[in-house]
Amino acid sequence: MLLDKIIPSRLLSKALNATKRLLSERGESNAASMALDLIATYNLLSDEQKDQFFRHLAEKFNPEPANVLAAAQAYASKPSAEHLIALSAASESPRQELLRRLNRAPSGTKTIIDMRHHLLRTLHRRPELKALDADMAHLLGSWFNAGFLKMHQVDWRSPAHILEKIIQYEAVHAIDGWDDLRRRLQPDRRCFAFFHPQLPDEPLIFVEVALLPEIPGSIGPLVDKKSPTLTADQFKCAIFYSISNCQPGLRGVSMGNFLIKRVAETLQKELPSLRSFCTLSPVPAFMDWVCSGAPLTAQNVRPAWRARHQASVDLLGLRPALWNERVTSGWRPDTCSEDERAALQSLCTLYLLAQSTQPGGNPVAKFHLGNGARLHRVNWAADLSRKGIKQSAGLMVNYLYDLDKVEVNHELFVNGEVSFTKSVTQLI
């Protein structure tokens, strides 16, 4: 099959036929060639054709409603093993089997991730594709189970093509070329990534760690590529200062939580002198929230906190336009008034303590607190970059991972409560 000779307009129908064959009896016993055909054709589709292809997948490979209903009724009337098995069979989308057969080809897993990446970009305006996305997410979640992921340290002995991807995927503090990367891979900086055996050349997610004498309150010195390298006797804290997902097609597959904990265990074993594991994290969208009036939607906010909150909002009196203007005029945390500082720190603390458990709360806080970390410190003048000042008035936060308490904290968080270090409350 010489795909590159095919008239582009025929490609879509070719892809749909390949789908049909792959799910047929012939496809059942086929090891890889039909899957390869489908992959090759899919990769030649235009973006628009891909959209049509997904619509087809979304429409044609659903469970049969009548069968589902009959199976559910039988199970409801008698919840026996037979009826449950029949129900499972009736209610699984045939799409899932299609994707499993696609996965038999060597590049199958990567293709499904890429398909989902494409799909996710249009999902917000194509809600009818959500069930297709759910099927992909379900399979990928099962296949990328944390137990199957291999953690590898990435260092200066790693292959260049892997390092190049680290540079490319770093999403928090951009890596400024190979010299910057080299600094981040010195003995007092570590980088760990998850890999899947099926995608040995693709880091899935990676975290960067700084080994420091104490918990840092600002990001500048930490990502300075000319900073001196510390020696092992100075390592007391492991600071997770950047965590980046590499595969948009794996959105929603839980990996970061497991990576941070496995890194912490690994470092603790290698360096028993480490006393704490902690992040230095941004607070994206904090000032948006402040400028919109800092609404507190949580129920269980203590009255004293509410009072402090109101006073701070009043004092700042910020609106988006006003804040933009100040930023443009060069507002900086190291020169602003004490009152302003106190008000911003109070609000940030409340934002994290009360709003993180709410819908729309800060995503970084949700991630770390949801992992069972504790809100440890709110740092003033911690990120003096333009972006840092604009989004969070230069504030950054330390979330502390106490490995003995992360499960309890996680449970508390699910139930709406945030764990925090006592000293934080002084800010409110």
Q: 72 to 131, contacts with its own copies by CB under 8 A? A: 72-73, 75-76, 79-82, 84-85, 87-88, 91-93, 100, 103-106, 108-109, 127-131
88 is catalytic: no
Distance CA 72, CA 93 (A): 15
User: Encoding tokens for residue 216?
Assistant: 């840092």
Tell me the number of residues near its own copies by CB under 8 A. 84
From the list 3, 134, 171, 304, which residue makes contact with its own copies (rule: CB under 8 A)? Answer: 134
Q: Which of 107, 242, 244, 281 is catalytic?
A: 281
> Which residues ranging from 353 to 412 are in contact with its own copies (CB under 8 A)?
370-372, 406-408, 410-411
> Which residues ranging from 162 to 201 are in contact with its own copies (CB under 8 A)?
163-164, 177-178, 182, 197-198
Of 92 and 340, CB closest to its own copies: 92
329 is catalytic: no
User: Encoding tokens for residue 373?
Assistant: 């970390």
Select from 1, 271, 189, 4 the least CA-distant residue to 17.
1
Sheet-wide strand order for 276-279: 150-153, 189-195, 205-212, 237-245, 276-279, 396-401, 374-379
Using N-to-C axis directions, what is the helix angle for 338-355 and 303-316, rounded to 10°?
130
Is the separation of the CB atoms in 53 and 45 below 8 Å?
yes
Is the separation of the CB atoms in 53 and 102 below 8 Å?
no
Q: Does 252 bind its own copies (CB under 8 A)?
A: no
From the list 43, 51, 56, 68, which residue makes contact with its own copies (rule: CB under 8 A)? Answer: 68
Distance CA 160, CA 88 (A): 46
Of 147 and 359, CB closest to its own copies: 147
Of 102 and 348, CB closest to its own copies: 102
From the list 10, 148, 252, 360, which residue makes contact with its own copies (rule: CB under 8 A)? Answer: 148
Residue found by looking up tokens 């709110």 in the block:
378
H-helix segments, 239-379: 256-270, 286-291, 303-316, 320-328, 338-355, 363-370
Of 223 and 255, CB closest to its own copies: 255
> Which residues ranging from 4 to 63 are in contact with its own copies (CB under 8 A)?
24-32, 34, 58, 62-63
- Taking the complex as a whole, how short is the minimal distance between the CB of residue 53 and its own copies, in angstroms? 17
User: Where in the sequence numbering do the catalytic residues fall?
Assistant: 281, 368
